[in-house]
Every structure is written in C-alpha cells, then in structure tokens.
A = this chain, B = another copy of it.
Amino acid sequence: MTPESMDLIFAALAHATRRRIMDLVKEMPGCSVADVCKYFDTSRIAVMKHLRVLEEAQLIVPRKRGRVRELYLNVVPLQLIHDRWTTEYSTFWATQATDLKFRLESLGQDDSPTTDAATAQRRSASGNDRPGRKRP
C-alpha cells in the first residue's frame, strides 16, 4: 500500500457525494452510471467525474457489458486501510478508549489537566516527548 494509493483512497472518501455513490453501488451491485445519476441533482458529467475518482482509488470497479458500465463496490482498499491503521494505532485505541476520564469536550485550553486526552497520552508516553534531531 503505497502512500500515493492511500492518498487516492482517502481523497476519494473525502466527499459526501462519492460516499453516497459508494452506498448506492453497494446497495445495487451492477448498476449503471445512469442509475447512479438518478439519485443526484448534479449533472451526469459531475457524477462521472466522481466515479472516475472512485475507480482510480479502486473503490469502485467497472465491468463493461454492452454499452452499459456495470459498477461494483470493492472493499479491498477499505480493508487495507483498516488493517494498517488499526495495527498502527492499536495501543492508542485501548489507551484512550478505556480511559474513563477521557472527555472529548475538555480538549483544548482546559486547565484541568487530569481529564483530557493529552493527559492520557502523557501517562502512556514512553518518555521521548522531544525529538533529538532530524530523522533521515
């Protein structure tokens, strides 16, 4: 999973219209481009551009059948991202999730230092709070 493909996947997901297209294709596997267009007020070309973004991210897979392009959802990119990020943040997951003192709304400039995410991380930090020098 290259950083570039990760960029493509996240960028594709970063738009409500594209997420809705994914939901539609998930609910109607093999639907056509015109079918998807029925659900949006924007022009067909705009939908096609969104589809292109989704296809470049491999999130939607087309299958040419006659003159129609049947669209299918492909969850493999989602799985890859899921795997990478859960392993990468598994420790944090547990730390912040099980910390009953954690409150999202207390973040920021709150002066009570025992009831926020920052404190939870300070407690679980391994000591290298400051970088020594530039990592190559």
Contacts and interface: CB of A to CB of B under 8 A. Distances in A.
Interface of A: 3, 6-7, 9-11, 13-16, 19, 23-24, 26-32, 35, 38-39, 58, 61-64, 70, 72-76, 78-79, 82, 85-86, 88-89, 92-93, 96-97, 104, 107-109, 116-118, 121-122, 124-125, 128-131, 133-135
A31 B131 contact: yes
B117 A72 contact: yes
Contacts of A16: 3, 6-7
How many chain copies does the complex carry? 2
Nearest to A107: B61
B109 A92 contact: no
Given A29-B129, A31-B130, A108-B62, A73 B121 contact: yes
